[in-house]
Amino acid sequence: MRFTVIRLLMVVGMMLGTAPAFAEATAARNYALGQHGSLQLTVPASWKDKVSQPPNGLPPTILFVPENGAAFKVLLTPIWTDRSGAQLPVAAEIRKKVELAAEQAKVQVLDTALTVEEMKGSTGVGFHYTATDRTPTPGEFKRMDQGMLRVGDLLISFTILSQDGSDPVNRAAMAMLEGAVHSTKQTAPQGHAARPDALQITKTEQAYVLTVPASRLGLRIPHNGLSLTNSAIGGPTDNPRYFHFRDDVKQVIMSGWVESDQAFPGLQKIWADEVAVSKKNGLADAQHVAFGRLGNWETIAYERAVPNFTNTHLHAHWVQAGTWIDLHLSLTTNGSSQDARAKLESLLRAIVVSQKKP
């Protein structure tokens, strides 16, 4: 019998197998995540790793196995949010997802009284449970430790497969996870600055100035606590005209693209695509959807259900002089949706779009 690996937000295939570890020297390893920065892990020196990268910019799976000795497997999948800008699950939501996985595992485990326990990483919390296979067959693992851990802007889904709770791999893998770090530092992508179709971002004392040499429009975004970060998700975001800012204190995210106006399909088509993508990725349905206009911006405002918080989104589109600016703002707060929408609209009003002089 084989244990089932947790899947979250995106369908990420993971192949299960064999693996172990001993108390030993460790070494820092860095796993690049494209425009999502990198995942930094401190790994036992004898562990071998293999990164499986699915197509279309989906999250990779990192597999660790022993160089020699007793078999074990450790599988990690770093997951990020989709284009909608929705927030990663908070602690209570992570617990519920792990509890659901534990409930589903009961049909194949020896002791059905599975306990979900909290774990604390260097930058976030997570939850996990341990299960023992009721009827393991030759070549399969008897013990599984599975869970999810928030690491920076990532949610790490992990599975540790071994033969016994005393196997050193269990403690070593948990230490590796709890010390994981997500680096999101970003500058303009290498090789993009000199291209006429690439976004260039300049930081002044008061604002970020965004421009694409081939475009006739420029964009000025006041700092307001925003920092340039690296949270592209592949696909449409994996291009030289994508940008992403965030304010972790105010829980504000601002991202978008600068494109040709020929690519603008209209607000209704954009929203229909958004709904389809959200359903595909298992996101909660948008609530209180409102189409509107704010100056030259065409807007779509809505909320997504998040326990104990208000998660408000504002899509904004500016089409002028052969250029389409596609902007997405989101805010997570414990205030009302009306206040959240007002704050996002205030941020949008502060953005200055100007046409370049010939």
Q: pTM score, two decimals?
A: 0.50
How would DSSP label each residue in 170-239?
A: HHHHHHHHHT-EEE----SPTTTTTSTTS-EEEE-SSEEEEE-TT-SEEEEEE-TT-EE-----SGGGSS
What is the pLDDT at residue 17? 34
**What is the rounded average pLDDT for all residues in the chain?**
83
**pLDDT(139) > 80:** no
**pLDDT(56) > 80:** no
What is the pLDDT at residue 269? 94
What is the pLDDT at residue 98? 93
**pLDDT(16) > 80:** no
Tens of pLDDT, residue by residue over 151-168, are 988 899 999 999 888 888
CA 318 – CA 101 distance, rounded (Å): 43
Question: From residue 324, how far is each of 153, 162, 171, 262, 327 by CA, in Å?
Answer: 28, 53, 51, 8, 10
**pLDDT(245) > 70:** yes
What is the pLDDT at residue 184? 64
| Mean pLDDT value across residues 325-344 | 94
* 153 within 8 A of 140, measured Cβ to Cβ: no
**pLDDT(182) > 60:** yes
Going along the chain from its start, the domains and CATH numbers come out as 26-182 (3.40.1000.10), 200-355 (3.40.1000.10)
- 20 band by pLDDT with thresholds 50, 70 and 90: very low
**pLDDT(298) > 80:** yes
**Which DSSP state fits 8?**
B
Higher pLDDT, 12 or 33: 33
Task: Show the DSSP H helices in 222-316 as ranges.
Answer: 267-280
For 223-256, b/e burial (b = at least 16 CB within 10 A) is: eeebebbbbbbbeebebbbbbbbbbeeebbbbbb
Worst-scoring range by mean pLDDT, 88-97, 187-196, 242-251? 187-196
**pLDDT(1) > 50:** no
**Percent over 90 (pLDDT), the chain:** 44
CA 232 – CA 170 distance, rounded (Å): 32
Helix (H) or strand (E) holding 18: none
- 249 band by pLDDT with thresholds 50, 70 and 90: confident
Helix (H) or strand (E) holding 101: helix 91-105
What is the pLDDT at residue 18? 35
∠ CA 107-112-117, nearest 5°, is: 115
What is the pLDDT at residue 82? 59
* 313 within 8 A of 328, measured Cβ to Cβ: yes
Structure tokens at 27: 């070494």
Sign (positive/negative) of CA torsion 337, 230, 157, 328?
A: positive
Structure tokens at 304: 């997504």
Q: Provide φ and ψ at 30, rounded to 5°.
A: -115, 125
**pLDDT(130) > 50:** yes
CA 358 – CA 342 distance, rounded (Å): 36
